[in-house]
Amino acid sequence: MAVTIQQIAERAGVSRGTVDRALNNRGRINPEVAENIRKIADEMGYIPKERKKRARGKIRIGVVTQLAKSSFMLEINRGIRQAKEELEERGIELLVREGLSVDEGEQLRAMNELVEEGIQGLALMPVDSPRIRNRVDQLAESEQIPIVTFNSDLAGAKRVCFVGMDNRKSGRTAAGLMGMLTGGTGRILVITGFFSNNVNNNRVDGFLEEVKKAYPGLELVGVQGSFDDTDEVERIIENTMRNVPGIDGLFVVSGGQAGIRNAFAKLKPERRPSTIIYDLTPKNKRLLEADVADFLIDQNGYVQGYEPLLILADILQRKRMPEQEYRYTDINIKTKYNL
pLDDT band for position 69 (50/70/90)? confident
pLDDT at 56 over 90: no
* pLDDT for the residue numbered 272: 96
**Domain check: are 187 and 121 in the same one?**
no
Average the pLDDT over each of 21-25, 177-181, 220-224, 326-330 and give the range with the smallest value: 21-25
Residues 205 and 246 in one domain: yes
Q: Is the pLDDT of residue 67 over 90?
A: no
- pLDDT in the model for residue 314: 97
- Mean pLDDT, the chain, whole residue set: 93
Tell me what pLDDT residue 81 has: 96
- Let me know whether 267 and 199 are in one domain: yes
Whole-number Å distance between alpha carbons of 262 and 268: 10
Asked whether residue 57 carries a pLDDT value surpassing 70, the answer given is no
> Does residue 161 fall inside a structural domain?
yes
- Residue 159, pLDDT > 50, answer yes
pLDDT tens figures, 76-109: 999 999 999 999 999 999 999 998 888 899 999 9
Give the integer Cα–Cα distance in Å for 158 and 290. Answer: 45
Distances (CA, A) of 30 to 33, 88, 167, 186, 330: 5, 33, 52, 73, 44
- 62 has a pLDDT exceeding 70: yes
Residues 171 and 101 placed together within one structural domain of the fold? no
In a domain, 53, yes or no: no
**Which range is least confidently modeled, 21-30, 109-118, 252-261?**
21-30
The predicted structure's pLDDT at residue 55: 47
Looking at residue 100, what is its pLDDT? 83
Domain span at residue 187 reads 167-298
Asked if residue 275 is part of any domain, the answer here is: yes
**Domain total of the chain:** 3
194 and 75 both lie in a single domain: no
What pLDDT, on the 0 to 100 scale, is given for residue 21? 86
Say if 335 falls within a structural domain. no
- Cα 63 to Cα 98: distance, rounded to the nearest angstrom: 8
- Domain membership flag for residue 211: yes
- Res 54 pLDDT > 60: no
> Is 54 part of any domain?
no
Residue 278 sits in the same domain as residue 294: yes
pLDDT of 196 over the 90 cut: no
CATH of the domain at 266: 3.40.50.2300
Q: What is the DSSP letter of 273?
A: P
**Does a structural domain hold residue 321?**
yes
* Mean pLDDT on 235-240: 98
Residues 180 and 112 reside in one and the same domain: no
Q: Are 235 and 203 part of one and the same domain?
A: yes
Average of pLDDT values for 24-49? 81
Q: Is residue 55 part of a domain?
A: no
Q: Could you please report the per-residue DSSP string of 238-269?
A: HHHHHHSS-EEEEEE-SS-THHHHHHHHHH--
Q: Are residues 247 and 229 in the same domain?
A: yes
Query: How do beta strands 295-298 and 147-150 pair?
Result: unpaired
217 shares a domain with 102: no
Domain check: are 306 and 322 in the same one?
A: yes
- From 102-111, 158-167, 317-326, the region with the lowest mean pLDDT: 102-111
207 and 219 both lie in a single domain? yes
Task: State yes or no: pLDDT of 145 exceeds 80.
Answer: yes
- Mean of pLDDT values over 17-29: 84
pLDDT at res. 42: 74
